[in-house]
Amino acid sequence: MCGIVGYIGMHKAADFLVDGLSKLEYRGYDSAGIAVLDKGKIRLDKCVGRLENLKRKLGGNMPEGTVGIGHTRWATHGRPSDLNAHPHVAGKFAVVHNGIIENYLKLKEELLAKGHKFISETDTEVVAHLLEDKYEGDFEEAVKQVLRVIRGSYSLAFMCEDEPDMIICTKKDNPLVIGLGEGENFIASDIPAIINETRRTFIMSDGEIATVTPDGVWVQDVNGVPISKKVFIVNWNAEAAEKGGYDHFMLKEINEQPKAIRDTMTGRINAEDQTIHFPELNWTEEEMAEINKIFIVACGTAYHAGIVGKYYLEQLARIPVEVDIASEFRYRSPLVDGNSLTIVISQSGETSDTLAALREAKRLGARTLAVTNVVGSSIAREADQVVYTYAGPEIAVASTKAYITQLLAMLMLSIYIGRLSDTIDKKLARYLVSCLLELPKQVAQTLENTKLIEAQTAHYAQCNDVFFLGRSLDYAVALEGALKLKEISYIHAEAYAAGELKHGTLALIVEGVPVIIIATQEDIYDKTVSNLQEVKAREAEVLAIGFEGDTSLVNYADQVIYIPKTDRYLAPLLTVVPLQLFAYYAALARGCDVDKPRNLAKSVTVE
Ligand code: M6R
């Protein structure tokens, strides 16, 4: 996730670009840059770090030109650096990009063979060179040629020195809005960037190409067929606009999960032959054979993702796994050696305990792998290898979309290792991939039940304690459901492996005590239902979560939330969604500060 802006009109472009980018920093902030057409030439100013750095660099020396594009970056390909910052320039062209160009390596090879020289590690620079390569005097036509060959997800804005009166932009699977002014027009990834300038906007759809001039905007498809767009007037205030119209970042991020899943699968799942690849790992059978134990180390929500990861790795890759809380691991003299792999999971890549645990594992000679959401973070830099989750920046303290992508990364990794080590057959791997391909749609479907969950939550919001139960993978998700509820609603919540209840905690289950029970794992389904009956017999108030088509839960539970049917391995990626919404609406009903819960910080960089 990155932020892009563009301006064409009668004022200094740089003023809008810098201001617009400041409203988009929530989309990425590892580097920023602008390209302005100044006296017919592209002037490029960009640098690593937050927008403040760029502003300092520009100082009083702002470009004068009235046409420009800008970018604030959340790195995907290539670490944050001055050279990797956007815009990228090739010859007469400047480009800004939000998204991932999947086939950039192949395109880069072809361009290298034709003599193009690259200075960055990004996929975006390939687009700039491709445009230069396709250009034969017709800017629009060259853009269309580029769109015919690139694959992936993008919103893109292009500028050309030969055409000082136009910016061309387009999108696929990433947002792009146009703001309409008088004698000036605006381009942005999101409405907050333009709201101070105009409220007349339209939203670009996939495959549309807009040619933006000071006097108008012309939209067509790749074949030149004109498209007429409906203008709408934005009536959100600036704060609501930043949250995409949602009341809180947490709710926005919960709703971004289908996209976060799609982005994390991109380049790793081959939908045609239903296989999984990790080009960034490229492990061999021999290398895998050397690993006899895996340690997963993390904190908080990421630790819960690690527990799910243990089930995946042990069942699919048949390697023994220990999961540790990072603050424990670092001091417990773990029996880590050169034949073990330590996987650290961290959204921010900066959590102090997780970083220390990673260093300890390395000191003991383990191979290390980071699963993180932040390119170039300390953990990403120090681990031997990295698998990135592509959730985009997560602003709310409560982790939601990062967690779901961590589960996805662990499942894809387990299938990948399972195939390498031959512990699962091709048929099962393909079947799981086919289920994964359905997942974004199913998460979106689950999100549609929001109203239902909101209504069911109102009642629970008044309780002092909530118990979460489940077995196997359902237990692992119950842990996350309880943490979510605690941290944002301040309701005391505990998760138990359902079979463990009778060893003590059942004493707390009395009339009216709320219990949320997850029942998706078919191999132990009957046992989970017995546990449900146990708590119901003590007159607990039970909310069950199960698969659509499960007709039995309704006989025992007071209320049931259904999730779309999928394989049991994927169930955690669906059952967590109502739990996140449950926590959100409970916190809302109790008047809590959802995005900034008391005593907590987004990134815990102290021990
Ligand atoms: O950035 P990390 O994933 O390393 O952070 C770990 C935890 O601090 C984090 O998951 C925390 O538990 C969340 N606030 C939970 O929502």
Which is catalytic among the residues 2, 160, 299, 435? 2
Q: Ligand 1 mean position to 456 CA, how many Å? A: 27
- Quick check: CB of 346 below 6 Å from ligand 1? yes
C-alpha 313 to ligand 1 mean position (Å): 22
Ligand 1 touching residue 299 (CB < 6 A):
yes
Mean pLDDT, range 529-555, rounded to an integer = 94
C-alpha to C-alpha distance for 37 and 65, rounded to whole angstroms: 5
The alpha carbon of 394 and the centre of ligand 1 are apart by a number of angstroms equal to: 11
Residues 49 and 30: their CA atoms lie apart, in Å, by 5
Which residues are registered as beta bridge partners of 396?
Answer: none
The response to whether residue 351 sits with its C-beta less than 6 Å from ligand 1 reads: yes
Residue 456 CA to residue 466 CA, distance in Å, equals 14
For the question of residue 299 being annotated catalytic, the response is no
Whole-number Å distance, alpha carbon 331 to ligand 1 midpoint, is: 20
Q: Is 23 a catalytic residue?
A: no
Q: What does the alpha-carbon distance between residue 289 and residue 200 come to, in Å, rounded to a whole number?
A: 60
Cis peptide before 87 (omega within 30 of 0): yes
- How much is the pLDDT for 171? 95
pLDDT single digits (tens) 266-324: 999 999 899 999 999 989 999 999 999 999 999 999 999 999 999 999 999 999 999 99
Q: Is 364 exposed, middle or buried (0-12, 13-18, 19+ CB in 10 A)?
A: middle
Q: Is 487 in the pocket of ligand 1 (CB under 6 A)?
A: yes
- Ligand 1 closest atom vs CA 602: 14
Q: If 0-12 CB within 10 Å is exposed, 13-18 middle and 19+ buried, where does residue 231 land?
A: exposed
pLDDT digit string (tens) for 338-356? 999 999 999 999 898 999 9
The residue whose C-alpha atom lies closest to atom 4 belonging to ligand 1 is 346
Cβ burial, residue 479 (10 Å; 0-12/13-18/19+): buried
Q: pLDDT tens digits for 442-493?
A: 999 999 988 788 888 877 888 999 999 999 999 999 999 999 999 999 999 9
Place of tokens 């004698």: 183
- Residue 353 alpha carbon to ligand 1 centre in Å: 11
In 176-246, alpha helices (H)? 238-242
Give the three-state DSSP class for 372. Answer: strand
Among 248, 325, 389, 399, the mutation site with the greatest number of ligand 1 atoms within 8 A of its Cβ is 399
* Cβ of 372 below 6 Å from ligand 1: no
pLDDT of residue 606: 67
Q: Is 399 a pocket residue for ligand 1 (Cβ < 6 Å)?
A: yes
The per-residue pLDDT of the chain, averaged, comes to 93
Tokens of 202: 């339209």
| Contact (Cβ atoms closer than 8 angstroms) between residue 194 and residue 16 | no
Could you identify the residue written with the tokens 């690139």? 150
State yes or no: pLDDT of 92 exceeds 80: yes
Q: Taking residues 498-520, what's their average pLDDT?
A: 93
Angle (nearest 5°) at CA 312 between 306 and 315: 135
Arithmetic mean of pLDDT, 147-158: 95
Rounded distance, CA 410 to CA 415, Å? 9
In tens, the pLDDT along 156-187 reads 999 999 999 999 999 998 889 999 999 999 99
Q: Is the CB of 376 under 6 A from ligand 1?
A: no
What would the pLDDT profile of 360-405 be if each residue is shown by its tens digit?
999 999 999 999 998 878 899 899 999 999 998 888 999 999 999 9
C-beta of 347 in contact with ligand 1 (< 6 A): yes
Calculate how far, in angstroms, residue 345's C-alpha sits from the geometric centre of ligand 1.
10
Q: What tokens does 169 get?
A: 């932009």
Residues contacting residue 243 through CB under 8 Å, at least 6 positions apart? 249, 251, 252
Would you say 395 and 249 are in contact if contact means Cβ atoms under 8 Å apart?
Answer: yes
| Of 249, 250, 299, best ligand 1 pocket probe by most atoms within 8 Å of the beta carbon | 299
CB 556 within 8 A of CB 532: yes
| pLDDT at residue 205, rounded to an integer | 92
| Confidence check: pLDDT of 559 > 70 | yes
**β-pair partners for 170:** 156, 209
